[in-house]
Amino acid sequence: MPLSATALHRALSMMSGLPRRAFSSMRERLVAQRGAVSREAMYIENFALLELTLDHLNQGLAMVSPDGQILIFNKRMLEYSGVDQNNFKLPARAKDVFRSQIERGEFGPEGSLMPEDVRNYFLKGIGTLNRSYIRRRPNGTVLEVRTEPLPNGGYVQTYTDITAITRAKEIAEEAARTKSAFLATMSHEIRTPLNGVLGIATLLGKSPLTGEQRNWVRIILESGDALMSIINDILDFSKFESGAIELDPTPVVLNDLAHSVLDVIDTQARQKSLAVTLDLAEDVPACVKIDAKRIRQVLINLLGNAVKFTDRGSVTLVLRAVERDAETRLRFEIKDSGIGIAPEARNKLFREFSQVDASINRRFGGTGLGLAICKKIIEAMGGTIGVDSVEGEGSCFWFELDAAVCEAPATDLSPRGVRAAGAAYHVLVVEDMPVNRIVARGMLNSLGHSVELACDGVEALEKLKSGAYDIVFMDMQMPNMNGLEATRAIRARGGAFLDLPVIAMTANAFHSDRMECLAAGMNDFVSKPIELNELEAAIIRVMPFDGKPVEQTLQPAVLCDEQKLSKLTEFIGINGLAEILDEFRVDSQRYLGAAQAAISEGASEHALASLEALGEATTTLGMLEAAAAIHLWRGAIIESGLTDEPRMRVRAIIDQSIEEARAWLVDCGGREAAEIRAASIKPSSGASAENTLAN
């Protein structure tokens, strides 16, 4: 209640007798106490605000001390960890939370879904957790777990729900796979009848015809080639749109590449009396590693356009090195003296389904996809493409890209090609489409070879039992038994069947199809529609001078499936995969040793079981060639009895595959993966096994 004037006067009178020093001291204590109360209130308020903030974060968060004690956590962390929220309280240790998660099934039955590095970290007390890894909870939630070490020890872990992002990614990937499958089917369905049309027309052209009939055949072939070009444009564009395009860099001699593309347009240029020249600068390296097929596609498109839109004068292909080093920047220029392009029209050139104006399409035809595809190819290679032009004077289309300088491939000076081209072989053609069988037989007969036919893999295997063949041409998609299954069955017979040349002859034109054929044990690959010169070239490649087949003339560009490796690193991290590769090097030796011992003892079942386990492991790790070699070895044992002969080859392929996988990890991991080159992975900086919170 308020003091009256009388009471206040009395109080002051009573205090007037106190020493001044005592009164001053009392005042200071009161001020200090008031300050302490104010600071405590502020601390309580700030703590409440911090707690409120943490509990409303969209991420789980925990802070752990150097000795493994959980100091700070929020509600989202408890939710994501899966522990009993009602009974969880501090103090608590990180490893106890982890054990509680195992007991509650957060890592599956007995921790079976636990990442390998987490298992080692908490159960064995070795290694470190990845700074970032993905964890899938039993309820379907997908979490990204990140660990950040603190300067004075301890760490902070965050848990982010990425379920929606992961699901969206899976849906997008599934859509891309569906589109790729559709493209593959469409490619097959279109190319198969075209193979019949063009193949029969080619054979017809070799028969006795009148001049008029021969002209009709020429028109059929030219129209078919034009149709094939349009179809290829549409399919290529669709591949780029779905992300299904595949690049295959190989050593390429640039001088040979340049002359080969000029040879393609030479006839068309001669018909218009155009001069076609090559300007190859001295600083251009002799050989670089690029995708020769795709570069040829771009150059032929640009050179073809230059000839098409030039009525008089010349077309020149210029090739020079912009920068010369281990990684060379190459510049290709296609110059012409044609009609040129107006400035306002240049922006439309590299757009899909676009041409300078409608009259171009009426006069010259085309889909308007050619330049758009060229742009996508060059950009997929990390390059740039453009055009400089003066209307009425000509144009210069150019593109630049980086290419690694390499040694030119050794030239084969043996007379193999001459002998193979002139030799007569007994050939088995395996094809379910009657018209394609007729085409293949006619073309092979025209090359001087005798031919027998089979309509599927089952019939082919029967014919191979009773007949001796020098070469097998095998379609991939057939009823009863497809080409891949038939080839594996052929190789599984062992003996001479291991060396019998098998050439894929299919409308499946994707690079992945080629890899699948090689993994199944095929030696070469010919795409439909089949051309006579390609058929002959394939025979030359697989049949050397002495008449014995060349072993695997085409090897996969890589031993390992990089998509599989990438998927594995998403779940177990770069270091985790590196550790698994180290373990697999030891395990593979153990499996091979077990197989060898079983073979020595005549125990075929034990040998097959060891090889099956080893094959499953190589498949899981994406080691395509190793898996194929092991499959062939198992087949040889099943068909022909115990054999130890392939063991050294399998060992070598596995070692090469491990090294390639480790090199891939270093490339994709940068500085973080630098230590992967070592035989074992050193623990990275961060939390120890004792004090990291597992989630």
Q: Which residue has the higher pLDDT, 671 or 665?
A: 665
**Across residues 95-114, what is the average pLDDT?**
77
b/e map of 218-229 (b: 16 or more CB within 10 Å)? eebbeebeeebb
- pLDDT top residue among 332 and 91: 332
pLDDT at 546 over 80: no
Q: What is the pLDDT of residue 21?
A: 53
Indicate the residue type of 447: L
Q: How far apart are CA 91 and CA 65, in angstroms?
A: 11
CA dist., res. 676 & res. 662, Å (int): 7
Region 626-653 average pLDDT: 77
With 60 as the cut, is the pLDDT of residue 71 above it? yes
CATH number of 55-165: 3.30.450.20
Q: What pLDDT score was predicted for residue 20?
A: 53
CATH 3.30.565.10 fits 250-405, yes or no: yes
> Residue 468 has what pLDDT?
86
**Mean pLDDT to the nearest integer, 177-190:** 68
What CATH class has 562-674? Answer: mainly alpha
Mean pLDDT within 477-488? 89
pLDDT band at 526 (very low <50, low <70, confident <90, very high): confident
Q: Does residue 19 surpass a pLDDT of 60?
A: no
Would you place residue 207 in the very low, low, confident or very high pLDDT band (cuts 50, 70, 90)? confident
Determine the pLDDT at residue 572.
67
Residue keyed to tokens 């054999």? 643
In CATH, the number for domain 172-242 is 1.10.287.130
Q: What is the pLDDT of residue 363?
A: 46
CA-based nearest residue to 386, from 311, 313, 298:
298
SS (H, E, C) 218-277: HHHHHHHHHHHHHHHHHHHHHHHHHCCCCCCCEEEEHHHHHHHHHHHHHHHHHHCCCEEE
Beta carbons within 10 angstroms of residue 292's beta carbon: 19
pLDDT surpassing 80 at residue 31: no
- Give the tens place of pLDDT for each residue, 431-471: 988 878 888 888 888 888 899 999 999 999 999 988 789 99
Tell me which of 310 and 138 has the higher pLDDT: 310
More confident residue, 23 or 439: 439
User: pLDDT at residue 678 above 50?
Assistant: no
pTM for the whole thing? Answer: 0.44
Q: What is the pLDDT of residue 679?
A: 39
Q: What is the pLDDT of residue 473?
A: 95
User: Above 90 in pLDDT, residue 178?
Assistant: no
Lowest mean pLDDT among 111-125, 554-568, 624-638: 554-568
Residue 108 backbone phi and psi in degrees, to 5: 80, 180
pLDDT confidence tier of residue 416, bands split at 50, 70 and 90 = very low
Pairwise CA distance, residues 356 & 604, whole Å:
69
C-alpha distances out from residue 48 to 62, 170, 274, Å: 17, 41, 84
List pLDDT tens digits, range 316-370.
Answer: 999 999 876 657 889 999 999 988 888 877 777 777 645 545 444 444 445 567 7
pLDDT over 80 at 301, yes or no: yes
Residues of the chain with pLDDT > 90: what percent? 11
**Averaged pLDDT of the chain:** 76
What pLDDT, on the 0 to 100 scale, is given for residue 458?
92
DSSP string, 428-476: EEE-S-HHHHHHHHHHHHHTT-EEEEESSHHHHHHHHHH---SEEEE-S
Residue 474 contacts residue 482 (beta carbons within 8 Å): no
CA atoms of 18 and 304, how far apart (whole Å):
112
Q: Are 70 and 94 in contact (CB under 8 A)?
A: yes
Query: When comparing pLDDT for 405 and 84, which is higher?
Result: 405
**Least confident segment among 212-226, 403-417, 472-486, 533-547:** 403-417
In the structure, what pLDDT confidence band is assigned to residue 423 with cuts at 50, 70 and 90? low
Q: Please determine, for residue 18, whether its predicted confidence score (pLDDT) is greater than 60.
A: no
CATH of 426-542, one of 3.50.50.60, 1.50.10.20, 3.40.50.2300, 3.40.50.720: 3.40.50.2300
Rg of the chain over all Cα atoms, to the nearest angstrom: 36
pLDDT exceeds 50 at position 615 = yes
* pLDDT confidence tier of residue 50, bands split at 50, 70 and 90: low
Q: Tell me what the mean pLDDT of segment 77-98 comes to.
A: 79
Round to whole Å and give the CA distance between 695 and 687.
14
Residue percentage of the chain with pLDDT more than 70:
75
Note the pLDDT of residue 666.
78
Q: What is the pLDDT of residue 547?
A: 42
